[in-house]
């Protein structure tokens, strides 16, 4: 059976560029570490460009960028682990960068925040090459990545390294998905769990926050204060959306409730959103339903487009 179809050209092709080096740093033993990112961008017929040097799709211009930051307790995981779930942002016309950062076994905080900031500066430095809008960059992360995304929202100085230093690491919007943005409260929660028989860890240095900060565990809670974005809300804090499940067993929902309240008290209510997901656990399916993705997309549409 032969048929002639006319599907139209409304939807543009999404391309995925993998393993782009953006930073060269060191681990705790002084060994070199190369950090890489991937870029998902809705930018036309890449195969035709490679084969013939031209494209059959009209350019839509530079695209705003959203940097995805994985969680895994700051211990590190494949940068592309959630790439499929983040395709909804590319469909809405955002370039999405999936980045490496040093896990807590390779470096202690604030190295993780420095790595995210380096990625943002790299994207600005290479905006022409990839068709990106360097003036509109946001971040989104889950769990430990939500903590780092919230830190990025503070737009703090002092965490930039020498790489791509002529470019800004400030962001214009951020999404925090159930991030432990108050490590003091997370540390208190861990202290209770450590007393329970059969808990997976026996010592504080084994916990996520203990591994992230290292050092003397007797001063861990004190040092958790300085590693918590809730204490750095300021006039340069960008718009932020927070999502948290009300049945999260790993990061208590009260952490995000308190974070939002502090944003309100600082006068940022008009640019801050908090969504509590009923029956939501820690990164469970509720966070990746069409309704939830729509709320995230609408937020970035408002502040990055």
Sign of the alpha-carbon dihedral angle for 86, 87, 92, 96: positive
**Burial class of 95 by CB neighbour count within 10 A (0 to 12, 13 to 18, 19+):** buried
Please name each of the domains of the chain with its CATH number. 15-182+238-304 (3.40.50.1820), 183-227 (no CATH)
For Cα atoms 80, 185, 190, give the angle at the middle one, nearest 5 degrees.
75
Q: What's the pLDDT at 12?
A: 84
- Interatomic CA distance for residues 186 and 226, integer angstroms: 13
Q: What's the pLDDT at 49?
A: 62
Q: Where are the alpha helices (DSSP H) in the chain?
A: 46-52, 87-91, 111-125, 127-130, 144-153, 183-194, 208-213, 220-226, 253-265, 290-304
Sign of the alpha-carbon dihedral angle for 19, 131, 149, 231: positive
Sheet holding 272-277: strands in order across? 15-26, 32-41, 95-99, 63-69, 132-142, 173-177, 240-245, 272-277
Which tokens in the block code for residue 133?
């809008």
Q: What's the pLDDT at 272?
A: 98
- Interatomic CA distance for residues 195 and 253, integer angstroms: 21
Whether the Cβ atoms of residue 150 and residue 178 lie closer than 8 Å to each other: no
Which tokens in the block code for residue 14?
């999404």
How many of the other CB atoms lie within 10 Å of CB of 241?
25
pLDDT in tens, the chain (305 residues): 999 999 888 888 899 999 999 999 999 999 999 999 999 998 866 665 655 566 666 566 899 999 999 999 999 999 999 999 999 999 999 999 999 999 999 999 999 999 999 999 999 999 999 999 999 999 999 999 999 999 999 999 999 999 999 999 999 999 999 999 999 999 999 999 999 999 999 999 999 999 999 999 999 999 999 999 999 999 999 999 999 999 999 999 999 999 999 999 999 999 999 999 999 999 999 999 999 999 999 999 999 99
Length of the chain: 305
How many of the other CB atoms lie within 10 Å of CB of 130?
17
């Amino acid at each position: 059976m032969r048929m002639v179809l006319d599907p139209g050209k409304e939807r543009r092709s999404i391309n995925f560029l993998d393993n782009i080096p953006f930073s060269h740093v060191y681990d705790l033993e002084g060994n070199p570490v190369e950090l890489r990112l991937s870029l998902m961008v809705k930018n036309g017929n890449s195969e035709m460009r490679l084969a013939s040097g031209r494209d059959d799709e009209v350019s839509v211009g530079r695209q705003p960028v959203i940097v995805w930051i994985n969680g895994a307790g700051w211990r590190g995981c494949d940068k592309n682990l959630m790439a499929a779930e983040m395709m909804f942002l590319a469909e809405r016309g955002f370039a999405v960068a999936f980045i490496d950062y040093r896990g807590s076994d390779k470096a202690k905080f604030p190295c993780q925040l420095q790595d995210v900031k380096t990625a943002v500066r790299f994207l600005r430095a290479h905006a022409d090459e990839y068709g990106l809008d360097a003036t509109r960059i946001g971040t989104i992360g889950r769990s430990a990545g939500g903590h780092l995304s919230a830190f990025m929202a503070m737009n703090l100085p002092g965490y930039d390294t020498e790489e791509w230093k002529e470019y800004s690491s400030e962001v214009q919007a951020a999404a925090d998905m159930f991030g432990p943005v108050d490590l003091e409260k997370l540390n208190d929660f861990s202290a209770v769990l450590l007393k329970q028989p059969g808990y997976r860890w026996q010592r504080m240095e084994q916990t996520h926050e203990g591994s992230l900060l290292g050092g003397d565990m007797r001063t861990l809670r004190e040092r958790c204060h300085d590693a918590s974005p809730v204490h750095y809300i300021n006039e340069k804090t960008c718009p932020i959306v927070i999502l948290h499940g009300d049945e999260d067993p790993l990061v208590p929902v009260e952490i995000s409730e308190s974070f939002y309240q502090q944003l309100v008290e600082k006068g940022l209510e008009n640019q801050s959103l908090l969504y509590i997901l009923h029956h939501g656990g820690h990164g469970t399916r509720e966070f990746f339903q069409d309704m939830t993705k729509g709320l995230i997309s609408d937020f970035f549409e408002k502040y990055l487009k």
